[in-house]
Amino acid sequence: MSAFLGAGHEPLGGSHTSRADTEDVTPRPRETFVTTAPCARRASLRPVGRAPYRGEVAAPQNPARPSAALAALVRGARTLVLTGAGLSTDSGIPDYRGPGSVPRNPMTYEQFVGDAGFRRHYWARNHVGWRHMAATRPNDGHRAITALEAAGHVTGVVTQNVDTLHQRAGTRTVVDLHGSYDRVTCLGCGTLVTREALDARLTALNPGFRESHGPVDDIEIAPDADAVIEATAGFVVAPCETCGGILKPDIVYFGEQVPRERVERAFALVDDADVLLVAGSSLTVHSGLRFVRHAARRGTPVAIVNRGATRGDDLATLRLDAGTSETLVGLLPHLLPVPTGGSAA
């Protein structure tokens, strides 16, 4: 039972729920594959520094048209990237709503805090699954964003993912909108501990539990490190060592508010950007869609790269039904010069 912002639900969070996201925003004309219309704010775009592309990411053999279309929109612009689960599928983390995704019934915040049985079920499944998340590595899409940030084309990332792959790829400015799988917080005293530290305690309290479920490769894992297992009776949950309170993963559950500071920081990044690029998100939940609505209301061009339809399609200046990682990697030859005499490995 996954706890993290499930399909078809919208979190309450943040202080901007009565701003652009609740107002009517007129859909803008868009190109679904290439764009020929000049950017509405092109005259106001600020120049960015260019740095050589040094081959940390494998450049595609045949750059596809989607990357060229996207490059035409973002060239010379300060671009903020809003990422979703579709970006991390190439790292082996499943998404919630992409093609072939398994429908999930999310655990709510109220269920987690109000029922010890729900908490036991969650922590048992997470105890089995969280190391799968820890073992994943950034993919070429994450590394492409890092390269574009280093060159001044990308101003930062607002991510709906909890996998920390942007930070592990080296991106400096990241807002973890929905939190992070590798931290645990106490609902009583606010103590924050690492998931690694809690794992040691849970292992001591539940010897052999993880091993009894077999190799993690044989178990379905949700995007928030929730292993799909049913036999959780008898699992012992660890309380906070400081106050004895309830420990909760530092991720935003359905029905829980996104912390105000994160929302404000994300909106500030949107306001500072010339272009908003959505990468790998269906924008099903409100917490991500509100930034698209806000950008559209401000007249900021919105580009969406995703497999399948999104809730923001009518607001997009450019809509690409394409793979996220390959499209981002395909941007590099258009925006970052390859050093003379070298090749992108």
Indicate whether 264 belongs to any domain. yes
Alpha-carbon separation of residue 26 from 165, 168, 272, 315, 321 (angstroms): 34, 38, 22, 7, 22
Indicate whether 44 belongs to any domain. yes
Indicate whether 15 belongs to any domain. no
pLDDT of residue 321: 95
Does 126 score more than 70 pLDDT?
Answer: yes
Q: What is the CATH number of the domain that holds 38?
A: 3.40.50.1220
Does 43 score more than 50 pLDDT?
Answer: no
Give the integer Cα–Cα distance in Å for 338 and 330.
13
**Which structural domain, as residue segments, surrounds residue 46?**
20-335
Mean pLDDT of 172-196: 97
8 A C-beta contact, residue 274 and residue 46: yes
Alpha-carbon separation of residue 117 from 113, 255, 263, 279, 322 (angstroms): 10, 18, 31, 37, 42
pLDDT of residue 211: 80
- Of 142, 178, 213, 286, which one is the catalytic site residue? 178
Does 89 score more than 80 pLDDT?
Answer: yes
Indicate whether 4 belongs to any domain. no
Alpha-carbon separation of residue 256 from 65, 109, 111, 252 (angstroms): 40, 6, 11, 6
pLDDT of residue 254: 86
Mean pLDDT of 216-237: 62
For the full predicted model, state whether its pTM sits above 0.85: no
pLDDT tens string 56-86: 443 334 445 889 999 999 999 999 999 999 9
Instruction: Please state, for a pLDDT cut of 90, what percent of the chain lies above it.
Output: 61
Mean pLDDT is lowest, of 3-17, 273-287, 303-317, for 3-17
8 A C-beta contact, residue 256 and residue 225: no
Mean pLDDT of 281-309: 96
pLDDT tens string 108-123: 999 999 999 999 989 9
Tokens coding 236: 């012992």
Indicate whether 120 belongs to any domain. yes
Give the integer Cα–Cα distance in Å for 262 and 14.
8
Give the integer Cα–Cα distance in Å for 20 and 297.
7
Does 27 score more than 70 pLDDT?
Answer: no
For residue 178, indicate whether it is catalytic: yes
Question: Which of the pair, 26 or 291, is modelled with greater confidence?
Answer: 291
pLDDT of residue 224: 53
Closest CA to 268 of 289, 294, 296, 293: 294
Query: What is residue 7's three-state secondary structure?
Result: coil
Does 227 score more than 80 pLDDT?
Answer: no
Indicate whether 271 belongs to any domain. yes
Indicate whether 67 belongs to any domain. yes
Mean pLDDT is lowest, of 4-8, 300-304, 318-322, 334-338, for 4-8
Indicate whether 241 belongs to any domain. yes
pLDDT of residue 65: 80
Tally of domains in the chain: 1
Mean pLDDT of 311-335: 96
Mean pLDDT is lowest, of 92-96, 127-131, 225-229, for 225-229
In this structure, the strands spanning 247-251 and 79-83 are: unpaired
